[in-house]
Structure 1
Amino acid sequence: MAPSKDERVRHTTRQLALGLLPDLPAISDSILSRIRESMPELGRPEVLEPGRAACEANCTALLYGLVHGATPSDLEPGADVIESTRALVQHGVAHEAVIRTYHLGTSFWSDKWAYVVGQHCADPTLAVAVLNHGVRFLLNWLEVVVARLTAELRDETERLAREGSLARVAFVRQLLDDDVVDIQSAGRRLGYDLTGPHTALVLTQHEPTSHVHLEGVAHELVRGVGTGRPLFVHVDAATMWCWVPTPHPRKARNPPSSVRVGQGEPAKGLAGFRRSHHEAGEALRVARLAGTSADPVTRFGDVELATLCSRDVAAVHHFLESKLGDLLSDTGHARRLAETLRVYYQCNSNARAAAAKIGVHHNTVRYRLERTAALLGHPVNEERLATELALHLAARLQVPLKSPVQDVQ
């Protein structure tokens, strides 16, 4: 019985593929040359060896697939293919560039297969069938390999990004702590000028379930602070450190509600890089103590006294209660009295100036000050330093509220 057309196609394909086996090294070298001609960026010496290994592994897999009549389910790339492709990523070759090399290689193989079929198949009908069979095999192989390698490349890229991020965080932590630092070398490594003026920001996401891209928020914030090229350090999923090189920063714009920001004061050089970062962290610590009453962006300059006085939270609460007493009550009346006293101190104890600033009659200010003195247990101008400090801290820190006092006015 004469063999069927399909059997003749498979047999001819196998014979042609077997005939190509001795040419495998030359075919692999030719593909590598075509890729390097089309993609000069891959001509770097460190990329050449993994590129050659990938060509050899893929050419061998392709040819043996044709010899053995492999089906699409048999076309999974082997460990050598995956390993050599991962090596390309490790040497900085982009995902898109790696995939393009596979398209170039498949194009070369299609041309090669068409040439071999034309040279050895005298029967035009059989030649067309064998050509189509080989090309279909090549395209199926390309589809399967690209899908698998896309996943591998994504995993490898993410792994390298994680390792790079961890190394960057570790290096910046060392920069913040070490006494001896080559500031020029460190700046080159970070891509950031450490010799100039810096304003630091610390961002935290205090609602982890909120879907906020913290790095995107950071980019938006630093654009509002200054125009220099910033430094970003992604410390963890909920924390970012930023430095903006500007001597005259603006206050960062408000972030999304799930993000809190501490902003340091501008300072110069490596010492300033460290100090502004420390200040940003301290401002954020005070913002946490203030709870829901904190500004979305807390500048160190606005809370400097609070940072100095709030290390021992229990002692702060005791100090506020002892100095302000019932002025800490959670009533509109107590808040009006406290605000009036704050403005009165700001106006150098001038009741008329305070009344003008608040927008009430000066007799109202005097009445409120009398009520305040009754709550404090002494005239408002006695113990002014401690009382004014207590008012400042109470405005910036969340303190236990006392039972309401009677609202007379």
Structure 2
Amino acid sequence: MSDVMTDRFTTSDLVEKVAANLHHKLGDLSNAMRDRLSTRIVELEGEGAIFDLLYASIEGNVENILYSLRHDIVVDNIEPPSAAYEYARRLAQRGVPVSALVRAYRLGQQFLLEQAFQEFELVDAEAEQRAAGLERVVAVTFDYIDWISQRVITVYESERERWLAEQSSARANRVDDILAGSETDVDAAEAVIGYRLRVPHLGAVLWVHETGTQQDQLSRFTKAAGAIAEHLDSKRLPLVIPRDRASAWAWFAVRDDVEPDLDVIRSLLGDAGGPPVPMVALGRPRSGLSGFRRTHEEAVKAQQVATVRDDPNHPVTSFGEPGLKIASLLANDLELTRDWIHDTLGELARDDEHHDRLRHTLLLFFQHESSYTATAEAMLMHKNSVKYRIASAEKALGRSISTDRQAIELALTACDWLGPGVLIT
């Protein structure tokens, strides 16, 4: 904009005069702006060093704007205040949302323009010249705020990403120490991981199949863990530790007598988003520091079984389910387990629908104390149909089911949990 001339001075002279007058009040102006921002933006409330840093950031930015106005310097030739960058970093470290930082600059701009308007009103100049001068101040202030906002947001986001990575790494390292049994300072560990250790816990492993996973699943795991925590009536946020892009460990603070409903949890997983829908393996409730380790170990064993089983229709596995403990032991050496099952069950170990029905019926028969009536009721079948299947199972076995019954039942349990990985193809 060209200068508006009067007999006394140009618009540039007027702008320079107003900027100089404001600069003489820089300390009071910065204090007043800090009070305005900390009052209007609750996230910026603070004391001590962080409050002083807010003042230094304001002072540096206001001084830059006034310097640009007094000497007609374009924004790109100004150095950003180091205090402004450091303040953005501190907010990122404290988890203050970036929206609060952006709003601070907008409100600061508003406050400075109010002060500039008042100064223009005090200057003896024509209305047209004051309007032209104020228009220049508005333009320069807007350009500066737009320019500095982009830079402090970039600083904030970089620091937030770095800070979260360090925090996540510190939490993961401390959890590893707890699981290894090398952590002795419970209070320090709780402070780092943000989770209480002197309470009953329920450990979990959440994962998706690595194949086809193109992105980090942490947000999905966190959402699923939150829904599970609500189902468990947990009063605290779950601890979720990512292990890689496709798996995470979790702990829930629960009551000693909590009984997870696996069907409910299965339905909650669908709400976490997908595909892929997360799979979950649970330990059993355990108390204290040792319980934190124990329930996790159980969840890992349950995951191992679920991974071998690889059944998408069975996305939730609990270490407390009947037969899971035995299956977790047998899953440690699948080749040896497979050979033993083939020797024990013979043709009954074949991987097809017919033999699967026979194995399922015989296992239920054993679980119901070899009662045809009780088994028929459990399967909603006629008792004679159960008898026929048991006879067919004995034929496939090549011997009576009363011969080495314990081994047969154990092998059937392994087949039920470990699936095709231990069957005859």
TM-score by length of structure 1 reads 0.86
Q: Structure 1 residue 370: deviation in Å?
A: 3.5
Q: Structure 1 residue 72: deviation in Å?
A: 6.0
* Matched residue, 2:337: 316
- CA distance, structure 1, for counterparts of residue 25 and residue 231 of structure 2: 62
Q: Which moved more, 1:270-279 or 1:385-394?
A: 270-279
- CA distance, structure 2, for counterparts of residue 310 and residue 223 of structure 1: 32
* Matched residue, 2:162: 159
242, 255, 267: which one aligns with 2:251: 242
Q: Structure 1 residue 338: deviation in Å?
A: 1.4
101, 104, 124: which one aligns with 1:101: 104
5+ unaligned residues in a row in structure 1: which ranges?
404-409
316, 325, 338: which one aligns with 1:304: 325
- CA distance, structure 2, for counterparts of residue 66 and residue 163 of structure 1: 42
Q: Tell me if structure 1 keeps the 8 A contact 2:3–2:12.
A: no
* Matched residue, 2:273: none
Structure 2 vs 1, CA of residues 304 and 57 (structure 1 numbering), >3 Å: closer, same or farther?
Answer: same
Could you list the per-position Cα deviations for residues 52-74 of structure 1 after superposition, in whole angstroms to 9, with x for gaps in the alignment? 32123212211121123345666
118, 128, 133: which one aligns with 1:130: 133
- Aligned residue identity for 1:250: P
- CA distance, structure 1, for counterparts of residue 31 and residue 378 of structure 2: 84
* Matched residue, 2:201: 198
- CA distance, structure 2, for counterparts of residue 16 and residue 162 of structure 1: 47
Q: Which moved more, 1:232-241 or 1:383-392?
A: 232-241
Q: Tell me if structure 2 keeps the 8 A contact 1:50–1:85.
A: no
Matches within 5 A, 1:2-401: 5=4, 8-18=10-20, 21=23, 23-36=25-38, 42-71=45-74, 77=80, 81-91=84-94, 93-179=96-182, 181-184=184-187, 186-187=189-190, 190-206=193-209, 208-209=213-214, 213-235=220-242, 236-240=244-248, 241-247=250-256, 248-252=258-262, 253-254=265-266, 255-256=269-270, 258-292=277-311, 295-302=314-321, 303-398=324-419, 399=421, 401=423
Q: Structure 1 residue 18: deviation in Å?
A: 4.7
- Aligned residue identity for 1:228: K
- CA distance, structure 2, for counterparts of residue 24 and residue 293 of structure 1: 66
Q: Tell me if structure 1 keeps the 8 A contact 2:338–2:423.
A: no
Task: Please give the root-mean-square deviation of Cα atoms over the aligned residues, in Å.
Answer: 3.0
In percent, how many aligned pairs have the same letter? 27
Structure 2 vs 1, CA of residues 123 and 35 (structure 1 numbering), >3 Å: closer, same or farther?
Answer: same
Structure 2 vs 1, CA of residues 157 and 368 (structure 1 numbering), >3 Å: closer, same or farther?
Answer: same
Q: Structure 1 residue 354: deviation in Å?
A: 3.3
Q: Tell me if structure 2 keeps the 8 A contact 1:205–1:214.
A: no
Q: Structure 1 residue 163: deviation in Å?
A: 2.0
- CA distance, structure 1, for counterparts of residue 347 and residue 224 of structure 2: 41
SS across alignment from 1:379: coil
Could you list the per-position Cα deviations for residues 309-334 of structure 1 after superposition, in whole angstroms to 9, with x for gaps in the alignment? 21112111112222122212233321
- Aligned residue identity for 1:238: A
Q: Tell me if structure 2 keeps the 8 A contact 1:202–1:284.
A: yes
**Number of equivalenced pairs:** 401
- Aligned residue identity for 2:123: H
- CA distance, structure 2, for counterparts of residue 39 and residue 363 of structure 1: 76
- Aligned residue identity for 2:4: K
- CA distance, structure 1, for counterparts of residue 380 and residue 254 of structure 2: 41
Structure 2 vs 1, CA of residues 156 and 314 (structure 1 numbering), >3 Å: closer, same or farther?
Answer: same
- Aligned residue identity for 2:329: L
- CA distance, structure 2, for counterparts of residue 293 and residue 130 of structure 1: 70
Q: Which moved more, 1:216-225 or 1:111-120?
A: 111-120
Structure 2 vs 1, CA of residues 359 and 32 (structure 1 numbering), >3 Å: closer, same or farther?
Answer: closer
Could you list the per-position Cα deviations for residues 82-137 of structure 1 after superposition, in whole angstroms to 9, with x for gaps in the alignment? 23432343355443333333234323321332233233342232122112211232
- CA distance, structure 2, for counterparts of residue 224 and residue 48 of structure 1: 41
- Aligned residue identity for 2:168: S
Q: Tell me if structure 2 keeps the 8 A contact 1:230–1:245.
A: no
Structure 2 vs 1, CA of residues 84 and 337 (structure 1 numbering), >3 Å: closer, same or farther?
Answer: closer
5+ unaligned residues in a row in structure 2: which ranges?
271-275
Could you list the per-position Cα deviations for residues 289-345 of structure 1 after superposition, in whole angstroms to 9, with x for gaps in the alignment? 101266211000121111122111211111222212221223332122212221221
Q: Tell me if structure 2 keeps the 8 A contact 1:17–1:66.
A: yes
Structure 2 vs 1, CA of residues 14 and 353 (structure 1 numbering), >3 Å: closer, same or farther?
Answer: closer
